[in-house]
């Protein structure tokens, strides 16, 4: 019984690690390709190879999860809202991706 429980929890941990990796991949795709206009036009983010300078440099800003979700959902200043063009999953994935490449706090 014990062994089974341990194996099951290892399997679950493995799966959630995989799910997380997939989400950050999706987030990168949304950042560089899916979002229109692309985040890369306006934001620098070294992992994405972008150097846009209209909005803040995300490597420097290191936005929190809430900052990403709010900015992308509602727009901020001249940044457009993506609420109608991106799904909640895509916006979540963006936040996972940006946090994973700008902080070590995960
Ligand atoms: C047309 C240019 C433009 C595009 C496209 C754009 N942004 Fe922005 N973004 C800005 C500007 C400008 C600001 C600063 C707005 C302000 O503070 O007034 C900003 C701010 C932000 C912030 C910081 C918000 C805060 O709370 O300070 C984040 C995070 C962000 N953008 C992420 C993204 C992501 C992710 C995408 C792609 C889905 C994106 N942006 C697309 C121009 C853009």
Distance CA 67, CA 73 (A): 10
Residue 55 CB-half CA count within 13 A: 23
Q: What is the pLDDT of residue 18?
A: 63
Residue nearest to atom 13 of ligand 1 (CA): 55
Instruction: Please measure the distance between the N-terminal and C-terminal CA atoms of the chain and give it in whole angstroms.
Output: 32
Q: What is the pLDDT of residue 89?
A: 95
pLDDT tens sequence for the chain (106 residues):
677 887 777 777 776 666 666 799 999 999 999 999 999 999 999 999 999 999 999 999 999 999 999 999 999 999 999 999 999 999 999 999 999 999 864 4
Task: Among 34, 35, 79, name the best residue to mutate to test ligand 1's pocket (greatest count of ligand atoms within 8 A of Cβ).
Answer: 79
Q: What is the pLDDT of residue 8?
A: 77
């Amino acid at each position: 019984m014990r062994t089974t429980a341990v194996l099951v929890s290892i399997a679950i941990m493995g799966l959630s690690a995989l799910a997380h990796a997939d989400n950050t991949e999706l987030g990168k795709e949304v950042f560089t390709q899916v979002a229109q206009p692309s985040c890369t036009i306006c934001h620098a983010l070294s992992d994405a190879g972008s150097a846009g300078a209209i909005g803040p440099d995300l490597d420097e800003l290191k936005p929190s999860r809430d900052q990403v979700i709010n900015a992308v959902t509602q727009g901020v200043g001249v940044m457009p809202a993506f609420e109608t063009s991106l799904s909640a999953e895509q916006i979540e994935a963006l936040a996972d991706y940006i946090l994973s490449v700008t902080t070590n706090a995960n």
